[in-house]
Amino acid sequence: MPNADAVREHPLLRPVRHLLRDPELWRLHRRSVGGACFIGMFSAFLPLPGQTLVAAGLAVASRCNLPIALALVQVTNPLTMAPMFFFAFGLGAWLMGTDATLSNFELSWGFLSSHFKELWQPLLLGSLVCGWVSGLTLMVAARLFWRFHVLRRWQARRAARLQAKATAKGAAP
Residues 119-129 pLDDT 10s = 889 999 999 99
Cβ-contact 115, 81 below 8 angstroms: no
pLDDT bin (cut points 50, 70, 90) of residue 51 is very high
Query: Domain segments of the chain: what residues?
Result: 4-148
Candidates 131, 130, 145, 113; CA nearest to 55 is: 131
**Which of helix, strand or coil describes residue 18?**
helix
Asked if residue 74 lies in contact with residue 40, where contact means CB atoms within 8 angstroms, the answer is: no
Q: How far apart are CA 45 and CA 127, in angstroms?
A: 5
Q: How far apart are CA 101 and CA 155, in angstroms?
A: 55
Confirm if 120 and 39 have CB atoms less than 8 A apart: no
Answer with the residue of higher pLDDT: 103 or 29: 29
Which pLDDT score is estimated for 75?
Answer: 93
Q: Taking residues 8-27, report their average pLDDT.
A: 68
Tell me what pLDDT residue 1 has: 57
Closest CA to 98 of 123, 116, 73, 128: 123
Q: Do residues 8 and 106 lie in contact, with contact meaning Cβ atoms separated by under 8 Å?
A: no
The answer to whether the CB of 52 falls within 8 A of the CB of 73 is yes
> In this predicted model, which residue has the larger pLDDT, 68 or 15?
68
- pLDDT of 11 strictly over 60: no
Per-residue pLDDT tens digits for 35-44: 999 999 999 9
Residue 75: phi and psi, rounded to 5, are -60, -35
Question: How far out from the chain centre does Cα 117 lie?
Answer: 29
Q: What CA–CA distance (Å, rounded) separates 79 from 81?
A: 6
Q: Sorting pLDDT into bands at 50, 70 and 90, what band is 6? A: low
Q: Predicted confidence band at 14 (pLDDT cuts at 50, 70, 90)?
A: low
pLDDT over 70, % of the chain = 79
**Percent of the chain predicted with pLDDT > 90:** 47
10 Å Cβ neighbour count for 26?
19
Determine the Cα–Cα distance for residues 93 and 87; give it in Å rounded to an integer. Answer: 10
Residue 131 banded pLDDT, cuts 50, 70, 90: very high
